[in-house]
């Protein structure tokens, strides 16, 4: 069956360091992979999308990599700040479109001052 | 402001009493989707729509109905709510190949 796993439920990182979150998947052939941020009680907020033919994408302090051979995406936040504390979700499309987007259960990131 | 608007934000209802959660987007997005979020289970897709009059089941469609008569609106209907439908619901919309914009959520309690 298709499965998405995010490396850990919770991750604590010292302020200023780089936080790295992992998303692994099995039995998918996604056209693209997305990362979202979710704060408690609020809707997810889209951060980055990376396509299957792209190795890396950057946006300000965020970087995403996508390895379709390893079936893995890494999400990096450099120079982390307490305001980066949130749950981060990866999501994969199950078809070549955007209708069947499946989410991982998320990693709760805490940046410690 | 570009947004997805859900109403109501909070709802407590009794078993069996039909209810509708509305969702509207002002971005002319073709894709719309409903998710429910439960502790430990994450976001699970209920229904999605690729355009007007085109809808299909997601992973957990039982007990729900949707309609897409206009591009901007995608209401979620619970014909006979049960306690296991107590959850946090999110509506979302997007263009193909882009990230989703989510609404603020509807916290539903069925007693």
Per-residue confidence of chain B (111 residues) as pLDDT tens digits? 889 999 999 999 999 999 999 999 999 999 999 999 999 888 999 999 999 999 999 999 999 999 999 999 999 999 999 999 999 999 999 988 789 999 999 999 999
- Smallest Cα distance from B96 to chain A, Å: 5
Least confident of A20-24, A51-55, B2-6: A51-55
What is the spatial distance between Cα A85 and Cα A93, in angstroms, rounded to a whole number? 26
The span from the first CA to the last CA of chain B, in angstroms, equals 36
B100–A101 C-beta distance less than 8 A: yes
Cα–Cα separations (whole angstroms), residue B30 to A99, B40, B73? 10, 30, 11
Let me know if A5 is exposed, middle or buried by CB neighbors in 10 A (0-12, 13-18, 19+).
middle
Chain A contact present for B42, CB below 8 A: yes
- Option in A102, A104, A105 nearest B45 (CB): A102
The span from the first CA to the last CA of chain A, in angstroms, equals 41
- For CA atoms B24, A35, A30, B43, the dihedral sign is negative
Alpha helices in chain A (DSSP H): none
> Can you tell me the mean pLDDT for A49-74?
93
Higher-pLDDT residue of A95, B98: B98
**Does residue A40 register a pLDDT over 70?**
yes
Predicted pLDDT of residue A94: 66
A41–B105 C-beta distance less than 8 A: yes
What is the spatial distance between Cα A81 and Cα A42, in angstroms, rounded to a whole number? 20
**Does residue A56 register a pLDDT over 70?**
yes
**Does residue A2 register a pLDDT over 80?**
no
């Amino acid at each position: 069956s298709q499965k998405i796993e995010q490396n850990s439920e919770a991750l604590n990182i010292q302020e200023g360091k780089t936080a790295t979150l992992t998303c692994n998947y099995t039995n998918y052939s996604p056209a693209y992979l997305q990362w979202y941020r979710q704060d408690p009680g609020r809707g997810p907020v889209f951060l980055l999308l990376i396509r299957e033919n792209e190795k890396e994408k950057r946006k300000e302090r965020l970087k995403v990599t996508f390895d379709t051979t390893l079936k893995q995406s890494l999400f990096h936040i450099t120079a982390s700040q307490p305001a980066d504390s949130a749950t981060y979700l990866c999501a994969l499309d199950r078809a070549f479109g955007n209708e069947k987007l499946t989410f991982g259960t998320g990693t709760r990131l805490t940046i410690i001052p | 402001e570009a947004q997805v608007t859900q109403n109501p934000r909070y709802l407590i209802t009794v078993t069996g009493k039909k209810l509708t959660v509305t969702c509207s987007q002002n971005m002319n997005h073709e894709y719309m989707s409903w998710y429910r979020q439960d502790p430990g289970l994450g976001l699970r897709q209920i229904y999605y729509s690729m355009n007007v009059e085109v809808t299909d089941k997601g992973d957990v469609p039982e007990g729900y109905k949707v309609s897409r008569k206009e591009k901007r609106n995608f209401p979620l209907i619970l014909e006979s709510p049960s306690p296991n439908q107590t959850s946090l619901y999110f509506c979302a919309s997007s263009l193909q190949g882009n990230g989703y914009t989510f609404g603020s959520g509807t916290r539903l309690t069925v007693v």
